Amino acid sequence: MAAEDLSSLTRKRGREEEEEEGVVDGDGEAAEKRPRAGEEGSEGASLLGLAGYEDEEEDEAAAGRARANGRHDEDEDEDEEEEVVVEEVDDDDDEDDVRRGPERRPRQVELRRDCPYLDTVNRQVLDFDFEKFCSISLSNLNVYACLVCGKYYQGRGLKSHAYTHSLEAGHHVFINLQTEKAYCLPDGYEINDPSLEDIRHVLNPRFTTEQVQTLDRNKQWSRALDGSNYLPGMVGLNNIKETDFVNVTIQSLMRITPLRNFFLIPENYRNSKSPLVHRFGELTRKIWHARNFKGQVSPHEFLQAVMKASDKRFQIGVQSDPVEFMSWLLNTMHSKLKSRRRNRSIIHDCFQGELEVVKEFHKKHIVEKKEDSDEQNGDASSDIVTETSRVPFLMLGLDLPPPPLFKDAMEKNIIPQVPLFNILKKFDGETVTEVVRPSIARMRYRVIRLPKYLILHMRRFTKNNFFVEKNPTLVNFPVKNLELKDYIPLPKPKDNEKLRSKYDLIANIVHDGKPGEGCYRVFVQRKSEEAWYEMQDLHVTETLPQMVALSEAYMQIYEQHE
């Protein structure tokens, strides 16, 4: 009897020592040895609880399931845990874990290839275009999408919203929107099944370098889940509310081949901390993805990033000018992408040109006026000061001739037409442009460096203190082979270089309706077929090249010949 008491006391002390070292869990079953103080783990886990976010509720859930299943055989438990540990070593090296310091050790989750609930996955309701927030807690940490109903829920621990949803609704298959790992709840095991790969590709589209290089040669249509056909890169964008000015800008930028190729590979801008840059990259990949579940894309996440980055200068529900938005977007993304060593980015590589600006103004505007010295002011008025400077530009603004004030014999307004070459003379270095702000001056502009992609902006809208007026003048422009050297003087190219002054139109933004109201649409070219498409939000229709030139052009993008 004494021997039995002694042996039980020995086992009790041994168990207490093991519990202190973390070898035994709450049920007395063998568990993974947890790190002691000073090793990776305990203190760091409490300080960096959000890093691995899979909260302690999952440990409780695992322990609860072990108790419910009545697994009391220590040998079987040890065998199962040995299998799981081997599985984790394949993914994460233990030595690397120690070197990483105070991060939490990855949770050991059972990995299964067979899940009886995979047939409940409903791809028709899945939509990953919206912000990744839990539909209940509105948190963006550790969010899972239910693959049965499409809703977003936070966490998968015992008291989490996803766990509760799986019990209440009987939905069992979830995917982590960040790690793209699929899980079965409430059982808690990870699902490793190749049938879910198409969902991962829609959640986060991927492109290889070879795929990116062949995009402009692809003529194949794609089929959405609803049976509709769509062209990758030619998908419609959802107008959330008065966001057509964003849609036409995005559709235009998607035709810029170097810019598109840059954003299709996330490694190119992985060092950028700007959400705007990453959301633009995600939108680009979704537009050009050939395996989408639907034939349109919603730019909701990108618009949220725009609202935050612009301090609500551009926001959902408020109509804005695509020229202002284009200028803001290009300058903002350049500032987020440029390196410290060189003030260059993919934005400047595509769009930046250079002007020589000659400014003439009277000296009296820079001399302080003296009330008691009228003679000095009179002498200064005859002096003209000339300043010459070199100014970089991302787009050129063209002035339209004023519309006629009178109607014709049929009592209809005469809509004038003007060739593009006439209004391009503003940049020939000789034509004088009068400006009144910030001071009265005479300006002359001359292009001294042409960009690879030339953005032209027709100044159709004039604002005063009372209303906004729209100039209806039509601009006649060539769709192909715009030769600039015939109309504006260009600098001679350097040795062994060819003067590249010929351009082709690739995007034409049009405004329809009254000033301050109306809507925007865009004509874009598909390079693989050299066909033109008219795009207005979700509507994408093929059109003739002749129709492109019969519209009130507002902003155009030309591509330089190689």
Q: How many CB atoms lie within 10 A of CB 179?
A: 10
So where are the chain's domains? 111-201, 203-337
CA distance 317 to 453: 31
3-state secondary structure of 360: strand
CA distance 339 to 33: 46
* Same fold flag, 111-201 and 203-337: no
pLDDT of residue 5: 52
- Taking alpha carbons only, the member of 296, 303, 318 closest to residue 228 is 296
What kind of fold does domain 203-337 have according to CATH? Cathepsin B; Chain A (3.90.70)
H or E element: which one contains 455?
strand 453-459
pLDDT of residue 62: 44
pLDDT of residue 104: 52
pLDDT of residue 303: 92
pLDDT of residue 11: 53
- Burial of residue 482 (CB within 10 Å: 0-12, 13-18, 19+) is buried
Per-residue pLDDT of the chain (562 residues; tens, 9 = 90+): 444 454 554 555 555 544 444 444 444 444 444 444 434 433 333 332 333 334 444 444 444 444 444 444 444 444 443 333 333 333 333 333 333 444 455 567 888 888 899 999 999 999 888 888 899 999 889 999 999 999 999 988 888 999 999 999 999 999 999 899 999 999 889 998 899 999 999 999 989 888 898 888 888 888 888 888 888 889 999 888 888 999 999 999 999 999 999 999 999 998 888 999 999 999 999 999 988 888 889 999 999 999 999 998 998 888 899 999 999 999 999 999 987 777 889 999 999 999 999 998 887 644 444 444 444 444 444 578 888 999 999 999 999 988 777 666 555 667 788 999 999 999 988 888 888 877 888 999 999 989 999 999 999 888 877 888 888 888 999 999 898 888 888 877 776 778 888 999 999 999 988 887 788 999 999 888 889 999 998 999 999 988 888 888 999 999 998 8
- Taking alpha carbons only, the member of 333, 335, 341 closest to residue 302 is 333
**Composition of the chain by helix, strand, coil, percent to 5:** 35, 25, 45
pLDDT of residue 42: 37
3-state secondary structure of 551: coil
Q: Which CATH superfamily is domain 111-201 in?
A: Zinc/RING finger domain, C3HC4 (zinc finger) (3.30.40.10)
Q: Cβ(212)–Cβ(265) under 8 Å?
A: yes
SS3 annotation, 283-319: HHHHHCCCCCCCCEECCHHHHHHHHHHCCCCCCCCCC
pLDDT of residue 329: 95
pLDDT of residue 38: 39
List of long-range contacts for 63-68, beta carbons under 8 Å, 24+ apart:
63/25, 63/26, 63/27, 64/158, 65/187, 65/188, 66/27, 66/29, 67/27
pLDDT of residue 80: 40
CA angle 548, 551, 554 (to 5 degrees): 100
List of long-range contacts for 221-225, beta carbons under 8 Å, 24+ apart:
222/290, 222/291, 222/292, 224/292, 224/293, 224/294, 224/295, 225/123, 225/124, 225/293, 225/294
Q: How many CB atoms lie within 10 A of CB 348?
A: 18
